[in-house]
C-alpha cells in the first residue's frame, strides 16, 4: 500500500475503507472483510452511528493496533451554556470508547460550522497529548481553511472534501499543497451520480487498461496525490479497489478525465443557508 506523509511526519495510507451509509448491523462484517482484503486505513465518524461496529471489527481482526490507521470525526457541538472545548474532549473520549481504542490516528472536524475555533483548540491539546496523532478538518472550503490556519498554532494535517471526476477540486488542492494540508476525497465515485460507472470517457480509459471504471477513478486520484476512502460491502469490490497499483494513467488520459470537471458539488453546498441550518440543527447524541 502506498502512503502519503502528513505535515507532522505521520504516514497515512493513500487508500482507505470508508463506512459512510453502511448500516450499523452491516458495518462489522464489512470492515472485517475489508481488513481481510488488506485495508489498513479505516474512516468513520460519530455521525455515522457505526463507530462501535468498526471497533468490534478491529478487535475481531487481531491486527496489531500499530498496523492500522483509524480516522473518526467530531460532529457539531452544542454548548450554549457550557464549553465547546470541554464538549469536544467528551465527544473525542466517547468516540474512543465506542471504537475500543486508546488513541486515534486522525481526528477531523466534520463540518465547518458552529464554534469550530474552540473545537480546534481542544483538538490541538489532544494532539499534543498524543491522543490524536494527527488532526484535521472536513468539508472546509479554501477560505475557511486558510483562516483557521492563520489564527491557530497547528496546521490541519488533512482536509477531507468531496472530490471525484465531476468535481475535481484542483484549485482547492493547490491551496492545500501550498499550506501543507493533505487533500482527502470523500465520495470518490460520486455515489454513482451522473452515471459515473458508465461514463464514456472513464469507460474508454478503463478499457484501454483492462480495468474497471472504479479502478480508473481511484488510480486517477492516487496519481493526483489524493487520499481516497472508497466504500463497498462486497468483498470482491473491496479487493478490486485495492488492485490499482499495477498500472498508470497516461498524461493524455488524465487530460481527458480533467475535462469532465463541472466544478460544482453533486451533493450539497456548505455555503447554502438552508443546508447550514439543517446541519447545525442535527443532533447525534
**How far apart are the C-alpha atoms of 200 and 197, rounded to whole Å?**
9
Rg (CA), the chain: 18
pLDDT in tens, 54-112: 999 999 999 999 999 999 999 997 665 568 888 999 999 999 999 999 999 999 999 99
The phi-psi region of residue 212 (left if phi > 0; otherwise alpha if psi is between -120 and 50; otherwise beta) is: beta
**How far apart are the C-alpha atoms of 27 and 247, rounded to whole Å?**
31
Q: What φ, ψ does residue 272 adopt, rounded to 5°?
A: -80, 120
**How far apart are the C-alpha atoms of 245 and 229, rounded to whole Å?**
15
Per the document, the length of the chain is: 285
> For 56-60, 103-107, 113-117, 268-272, which range has the lowest pLDDT when averaged over its residues?
268-272
> pLDDT at position 49, please?
94
Reported confidence tier of residue 132, pLDDT bands at 50, 70, 90: very high
- 48 included as an active-site residue: yes
- Parallel, antiparallel, or unpaired for β 106-109 and 227-228? unpaired
Q: Cell digits for 9?
A: 511526519
pLDDT in tens, 4-25: 999 999 999 999 999 999 999 9
> pLDDT at position 81, please?
57
pLDDT in tens, 148-163: 999 999 999 999 999 9
Q: Which of 48, 103, 107, 116 is catalytic?
A: 48
Tell me what percent of the residues of the chain surpass a pLDDT of 70: 98
> pLDDT at position 80, please?
58
> pLDDT at position 268, please?
87
> pLDDT at position 164, please?
98
- Residue for cell digits 475503507? 17
> pLDDT at position 84, please?
85
Residue 137, beta-bridge partner list: 109, 159
pLDDT in tens, 211-238: 999 999 999 999 999 999 999 999 999 9
Q: Looking at residue 193, what DSSP letter applies?
A: G
More confident residue, 95 or 281: 95
Q: Which domains does the chain have, with CATH numbers?
A: 3-280 (3.20.20.100)
State the sign of the Cα–Cα–Cα–Cα dihedral 187, 218, 157, 149: negative
Reported confidence tier of residue 1, pLDDT bands at 50, 70, 90: confident
> pLDDT at position 283, please?
83
- Confirm whether pTM is higher than 0.75: yes
Amino acid at each position: 500500500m502506498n502512503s502519503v506523509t502528513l505535515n507532522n511526519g505521520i504516514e497515512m495510507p493513500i487508500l482507505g475503507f470508508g463506512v459512510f451509509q453502511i448500516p450499523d448491523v452491516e458495518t462489522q462484517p464489512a470492515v472485517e472483510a475489508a481488513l481481510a482484503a488488506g485495508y489498513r486505513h479505516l474512516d468513520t465518524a460519530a455521525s455515522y452511528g457505526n463507530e462501535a461496529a468498526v471497533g468490534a471489527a478491529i478487535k475481531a481482526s487481531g491486527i496489531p493496533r500499530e498496523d492500522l490507521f483509524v480516522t473518526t470525526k467530531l460532529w457539531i457541538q452544542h454548548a450554549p451554556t457550557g464549553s465547546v472545548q470541554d464538549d469536544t474532549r467528551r465527544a473525542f473520549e466517547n468516540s474512543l470508547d465506542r471504537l475500543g481504542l486508546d488513541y486515534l490516528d486522525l481526528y477531523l472536524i466534520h463540518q465547518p460550522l458552529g464554534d469550530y475555533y474552540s473545537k480546534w483548540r481542544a483538538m490541538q491539546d489532544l494532539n499534543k497529548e498524543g491522543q490524536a496523532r494527527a488532526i484535521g478538518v472536513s468539508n472546509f472550503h479554501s477560505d475557511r481553511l486558510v483562516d483557521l490556519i492563520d489564527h491557530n498554532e497547528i496546521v490541519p494535517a488533512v482536509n477531507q472534501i468531496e472530490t471525484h471526476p465531476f468535481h475535481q477540486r484542483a484549485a482547492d488542492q493547490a491551496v492545500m499543497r501550498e499550506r501543507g494540508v493533505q487533500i482527502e476525497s470523500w465520495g470518490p465515485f460520486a455515489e454513482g451520480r451522473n452515471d459515473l460507472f458508465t461514463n464514456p470517457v472513464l469507460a474508454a480509459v478503463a478499457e484501454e487498461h483492462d480495468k474497471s471504471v472504479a479502478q480508473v477513478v481511484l488510480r486517477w486520484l492516487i496519481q493526483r496525490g489524493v487520499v481516497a476512502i472508497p466504500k463497498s460491502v462486497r468483498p470482491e469490490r473491496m479487493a478490486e479497489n485495492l488492485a490499482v497499483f499495477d498500472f498508470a494513467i497516461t498524461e493524455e488520459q488524465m487530460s481527458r478525465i480533467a475535462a469532465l470537471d463541472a466544478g460544482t458539488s453533486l451533493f450539497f453546498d456548505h455555503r447554502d443557508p438552508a443546508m447550514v441550518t439543517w446541519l447545525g440543527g442535527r443532533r447525534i447524541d
